[in-house]
């Protein structure tokens, strides 16, 4: 009987790890390098605006294969991108009084061969805007994507925005919180058939995560890769940790050692919803591989 109990316990451990490594411990974050990333308030800047060379001079660079970070990395590093939008001076018809234009987030990543660990930490900036989402003071979301999610500029040139612009290919001028939206149920979406963004979000009220995707519409569940999402605020300092299996199911971008994927994230602070968040530029995430952010063992 004693031998059977030991065998059963061992089998339970094996099955738990096979199901996604839920028992695996998070890394010692004090030993994991952090990348300081500037996030900024984007205003009403959908992908159609990004790709319009008359309104956005960067469209020319995108047509040449350059990434948004090619022009804007220094601005985000210095928190110089955001003030004109948050004040209403540029592409923001509904400025929110007191909203922070930009702030820095420390991003850390690691893996243990079965799971990806992502940690976001930052000092809570001042707020004071309307409580659009009364239940959640903060939400944190990240997206992963393969190459090949295209956007078309005013001249008909197609650009791989998943590679060049992070999450921007999901943000369209007819989405529900955009100034010209006619359908208050229209969510983020991508136009490229068969392509999708893997979307994971943490919410402060439940202190749990959701695992979804963005394809022809946004869905907040159905993914199989998320193991856990937990966050806390200590003295005005937020930290949110995601544990995600390297492989999941439909709607989950498959990760593996040596692979590099497109990566971007957003923080809804001060009870905001929709486009009223702070966003990163597009970056790359590497699993045991050189990238903008590397998740090494």
CA angle 76, 82, 67 (to 5 degrees): 45
The answer to whether residue 7 scores a pLDDT higher than 90 is no
Q: Which pLDDT belongs to residue 25? A: 80
Q: Which pLDDT belongs to residue 130? A: 92
Q: Which pLDDT belongs to residue 24? A: 65
Q: Which residue has the higher pLDDT, 3 or 257?
A: 257
The radius of gyration computed from the CA coordinates of the chain, to the nearest angstrom, equals: 20
Give the Cα separation of 138 and 269 in Å (integer). 5
pTM of the model: 0.91
The ranges assigned to domains in the chain are 34-295
The count of other CB atoms within 10 Å of the CB of residue 121 is 18
Q: Which pLDDT belongs to residue 292? A: 97
Q: Which pLDDT belongs to residue 21? A: 44
Q: Which pLDDT belongs to residue 8? A: 39
Work out the mean pLDDT of the chain and round it to a whole number: 91
Q: Summarize pLDDT for 13-52 with one digit per residue, the tens.
A: 333 444 444 456 889 999 999 999 999 999 999 999 999 9
Q: What is the DSSP-derived secondary structure letter of residue 26? A: P
Nearest to 40 by CA among 285, 272, 233, 266: 266
Q: Summarize pLDDT for 219-252 with one digit per residue, the tens.
A: 999 999 999 999 999 999 999 999 999 999 999 9
Nearest to 146 by CA among 215, 64, 245: 215
Structure-token pair, residue 233: 């605020």
CATH class of the domain at 34-295: mainly beta
């Amino acid at each position: 009987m004693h031998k059977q109990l030991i065998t059963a316990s061992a089998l339970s451990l094996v099955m738990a790890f096979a199901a996604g490594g839920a028992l695996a411990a998070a890394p010692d974050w004090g030993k994991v390098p952090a990348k300081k990333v500037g996030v900024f308030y984007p205003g009403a800047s959908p992908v159609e605006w990004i790709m319009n060379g008359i309104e956005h001079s960067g469209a020319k660079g995108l047509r040449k294969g350059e990434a948004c970070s090619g022009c804007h990395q220094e601005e985000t590093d210095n928190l110089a991108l955001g003030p004109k939008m948050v004040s209403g001076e540029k592409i923001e018809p509904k400025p929110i009084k007191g909203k922070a234009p930009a702030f820095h987030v420390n991003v850390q990543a690691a893996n243990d061969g079965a799971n990806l660990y992502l940690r976001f930490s930052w000092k809570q900036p001042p707020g004071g805007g309307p409580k659009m989402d009364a239940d959640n003071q903060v939400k944190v979301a990240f997206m992963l994507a393969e190459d090949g999610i295209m956007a078309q500029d005013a001249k008909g040139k197609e650009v791989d925005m998943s590679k060049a612009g992070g999450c921007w290919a999901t943000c369209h001028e007819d989405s529900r919180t955009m100034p010209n939206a006619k359908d208050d149920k229209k969510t983020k979406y991508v136009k490229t058939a068969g392509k999708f963004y893997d979307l994971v979000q943490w919410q402060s009220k439940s202190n749990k995560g959701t695992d979804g995707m963005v394809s022809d519409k946004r869905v907040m569940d159905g993914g199989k890769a998320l193991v856990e999402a937990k966050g806390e605020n200590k003295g005005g300092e937020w930290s949110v940790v995601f544990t995600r299996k390297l492989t999941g199911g439909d709607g989950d971008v498959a990760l593996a050692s040596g692979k590099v994927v497109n990566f971007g994230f957003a923080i809804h602070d001060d009870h905001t919803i929709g486009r009223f968040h702070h966003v990163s530029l597009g970056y790359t995430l590497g699993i045991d591989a050189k990238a903008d952010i590397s998740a090494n063992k």
